[in-house]
Chains A and B, each alone.
Chain A
């Protein structure tokens, strides 16, 4: 599948924002972070900015961005529509919580309710993003039970890394949140490794014979393409990355998304305040790069069954 940059930026940046929002709300409810108005304002500001920029980026690949408001209407059947609705609804408790924490330094009562709803909204929104892809039976690598959970865990991972990075500026370190980040990295790494292993082991045995229903008459091969130049279907659905490049990029994604952030978080446990800021910065930079590569591969490695008509082999 063609990796559209606007969609990659959207899913990774808004994912990071929702992850940060989720952990902030959780930390507010559990009292894991000291109530500081300035920290709260900046942390919520960063989360909402990332979410908003991500959502705006998602409209860049539309043919008619001025009609984007129509996408809120079909939530009964469309995961894309559900995602849009969930994203907008989540702003309400998130902004209320931001005011509670940032202005009044209070996360009790109505603000506690807002925190709970923020966690729910963030989770639902990212789940819907994952389901946009996971519901497509035409792309086998996406129609996989781990796809939507991986979208969620990577949002939690990048959000946790950013939260730890922000904390290094204010409070040096919060050990509980470091251990939380490390636990999320371990789970995410395991899930992604299992996912890659499973899409690799799926047999690629479907051919043009299966797609045309002509396999029973013999071996089907493409004799003549319908057109001399590549068309929309081939450009959009026929993007194919070389196997050896994919392996290198998987390694890069693993190092950037899991290995370096994990090492940085471990080092934070013993770091001096000045060095902690540097470690926080490195982990955020590395995880951002890692998740961009991971998301690019998610598209570039996925095969669409329509390419069978053009002679591709698929699972």
Chain B
């Protein structure tokens, strides 16, 4: 049913830390690995080992250079479904294959009723939906709906595969509708933001901005290093300098 629920009990989603993401692609590959055998399997590939490989991925990791004044920094930027509160990808669907769950806010595609018209991919500002030409239906992030409630998995594995795989802890999973949840607190503390709010889709996933740089361009060089003048140093500093000089002979 493409009519959106008026509200959802939970707003499950991801919080992605752009400060600690190192762009290793572990989240992308673990997503592919889990979901090619998961809810809407397979995630087909064409010519995977050839010269022109092509395939469906639910998570794509961009690399950007952010240039300010003379300095620049690299920001790795994972992009996947935001499980929006106002997902137009759902409302444009003519068959009802796309839907938003009232219980947890997850946006899913039913692979048994999707006709593969691709209109949902046009409606998504985030490029989160990819067409699978071999299966003839649309694929998207399921927030690992087949992991997070899976009682047969160990408790620490009941998170999306991308979150479980991240070696730097840059991906967090939780209820963003609950202001007391760990992810909500993280967003509040780090000034997290949703992408392209002007589109009105109200993305649930949030991004934590890179922290201010800590290098010569932003942090004053410490006083100890800057003052070479012995007169400024107390007796202990002069003793250790003398000891260092003696021992270095």
Chain A residues close to B by CB (< 8 Å): 1, 61-65, 67-68, 70-74, 76-81, 84, 132, 135-139, 208, 210-214, 217-229, 231-233, 236-237, 304-306, 309
Contact = CB atoms under 8 A, between A and B. Distances in A.
10 contacts: A61-B117, A63-B133, A63-B136, A70-B94, A71-B95, A74-B93, A139-B122, A214-B66, A217-B66, A220-B75
B193 interface: yes
A70 B62 contact: no
Contacts of B113: 67, 70
B121 A237 contact: yes
B53 to A, nearest CB: 6
Given A63-B137, A64-B115, A219-B66, A305 B2 contact: no
Interface of B: 1-4, 18, 23, 28, 52-54, 56-57, 60-69, 72-75, 77, 79, 88, 90-97, 113-119, 121-127, 130-133, 135-137, 193, 195-196, 199-200, 207, 209-210
Contacts of A232: 56, 121, 130-131
Nearest to A58: B117
Given A67-B95, A220-B64, A220-B66, A132 B196 contact: no
A210 B94 contact: no
A77 B115 contact: no
Contacts of A223: 63-65, 74
What 4 pairs across the A-B complex have the smallest Cβ distances?
A63-B116, A63-B136, A218-B68, A224-B63
Contacts of A305: 125, 196, 199
The residue among A61, A77, A81, A237 with the most chain B CB atoms within 10 A of its own CB is: A77
A24 to B, nearest CB: 29
Contacts of A231: 54, 57, 60, 130
A203 to B, nearest CB: 15
Contacts, number: 188
B61 A226 contact: yes
Contacts of B1: 74
A217 B210 contact: yes
Contact of A212 (B77, B90, B136): B77
A227 B96 contact: no
A235 to B, nearest CB: 9
The residue among A62, A84, A309 with the most chain B CB atoms within 10 A of its own CB is: A309
B64 A212 contact: yes
A152 to B, nearest CB: 20
Nearest to A4: B118
A218 B57 CA distance: 29
B39 to A, nearest CB: 18
A85 to B, nearest CB: 10
Given A67-B95, A71-B94, A233 B64 contact: no
B195 A74 contact: no
B95 A73 contact: yes
Nearest to B139: A232
